[in-house]
């Protein structure tokens, strides 16, 4: 299959039709990026039911086909999104899911590889950093074409909280969370700004002077928000669905936007051979290049610790 054919493809495949997969397809349907969206699930009835339900909204969106399919459908897809896996339960960390979801990926990824898939693989299932690296190894795809949703959602949560704190539009807030999508994530406060104005400066402009306390409180709220949502409603899916939609937009439109997606890191801040989130230019070919981000000494140290914790887990996984 030629590269040109894949880029011209307007077909997406969602593997896994739980809360996250279904909400993501619903968001993608409204986005009008694709003319075809295929749902695959171990429970074929579930995939068919979700496809039917979401299809009934097409008269209010753009013309497209949404249907349940099988692995043969990945052959000519532009993007395959993998949300299949066990969900995070109350009291469970994302890393607690490792063994269950690695086993699921061992059954899914080889099926995709058999079909000579030539598009972009987007991993959404958790722990996303570990599973992105597992997907790279099992698929044999070039590293740039396997992306994890990473800290795109965490960074959106951060921007939302900062916007709320400062009473400014969150779209004008530029701030990243880097490292693991999980408990060792790092807020890159050093590079955070609002339309180019350093964070500490705009905080004081808006009447906030307790920088240390406020940043610690916001970072904790962002890190714990998934646990809080899971405790209250047993799953998180709308925020991640919008994140999936945004990543797909960037790829399909070849936007070359900068997103903190999970991808293989080589040599950034002394990190090598591990998948985690750092800002990268993303386009039709997946990851184009890393973007240097200014981190303080403490932030860089925490990022290295985050990478080391993920590396240790990877070393325990047999592929």
Which residues does the annotation place in the binding site for substrate? 88, 94, 126-129, 154-157, 236
What is the chain's Cα-based Rg? Answer: 19
Torsions phi, psi for 58 (to 5 deg): -60, -35
Annotated binding site for NAD(+): 20, 41, 46, 71, 85-86, 107, 124-126, 149
Question: What is the H or E stretch that residue 238 is in?
Answer: helix 238-252
* 176 neighbors 151 (Cβ within 8 angstroms): yes
- Please give the torsion angle defined by the CA atoms of residues 277, 265, 82 and 260, in that order, rounded to the nearest 10 degrees: 30
Q: What is the DSSP letter of 28?
A: H
Cα distance between residue 154 and residue 236, in whole Å: 12
Nearest to 71 by CA among 16, 33, 124: 16
Letter string b/e over residues 145-165, b meaning 16 or more CB atoms within 10 A of that residue's CB:
bbbbbbbbbbbbbbbebbbeb
240 contacts 88 by C-beta, under 8 angstroms: no
Among the listed residues 56, 165, 181, 211, the single catalytic one is 181
Q: Which residues contact 44 (CB under 8 A, 6 or more apart)?
A: 68
**Measured distance CA(147)–CA(278) in Å, rounded:** 12
d(CA 245, CA 260): 15
CA distances from 319 to 127, 128, 281 (A): 16, 16, 29
Give the integer Cα–Cα distance in Å for 290 and 287: 8
Instruction: Tell me the pairing of strands 186-187 and 177-178.
Output: antiparallel
Does residue 181 have an active-site annotation? yes
Could you list the active site residues?
181
């Amino acid at each position: 299959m030629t590269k040109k054919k894949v880029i011209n493809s307007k077909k997406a495949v969602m593997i896994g039709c739980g809360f996250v997969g279904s909400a993501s397809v619903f968001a993608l349907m409204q986005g009008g990026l694709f003319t075809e969206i295929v749902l695959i699930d171990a429970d074929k009835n579930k995939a068919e039911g979700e496809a039917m339900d979401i299809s009934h909204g097409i008269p209010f969106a753009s013309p497209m086909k949404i249907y349940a399919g099988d692995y043969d459908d990945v052959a000519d897809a532009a993007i395959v999104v993998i949300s299949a896996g066990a969900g995070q339960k109350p009291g469970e960390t994302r890393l607690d899911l490792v063994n269950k979801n690695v086993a699921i990926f061992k059954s899914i990824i080889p099926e995709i590889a058999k079909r000579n898939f030539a598009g972009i693989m987007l991993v959404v299932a958790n722990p996303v950093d570990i599973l992105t690296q597992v997907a790279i190894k099992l698929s044999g795809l070039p590293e740039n074409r396997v992306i994890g949703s990473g800290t795109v959602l965490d960074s959106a949560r951060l921007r939302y909280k900062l916007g709320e704190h400062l009473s400014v539009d969150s779209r004008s807030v530029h701030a990243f969370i880097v490292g693991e999508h999980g408990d060792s994530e790092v807020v890159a406060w050093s590079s955070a700004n609002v339309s180019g104005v350093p964070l500490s400066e705009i905080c004081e402009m808006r009447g906030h002077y307790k920088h240390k306390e406020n940043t610690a409180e916001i970072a904790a709220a962002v890190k714990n928000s998934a646990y809080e949502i899971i405790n209250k409603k047993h799953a998180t899916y709308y925020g991640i669905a919008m994140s999936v939609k945004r990543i797909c937009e960037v790829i399909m439109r070849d936007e070359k936007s900068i997103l903190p997606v999970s991808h293989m890191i080589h040599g950034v801040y002394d990190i090598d051979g591990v998948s985690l989130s750092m800002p990268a230019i993303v386009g039709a070919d997946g990851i184009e290049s890393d973007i240097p981000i200014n981190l303080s000494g403490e932030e860089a140290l925490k990022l290295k610790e985050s990478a080391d914790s993920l590396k240790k887990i990877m070393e325990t996984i047999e592929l």
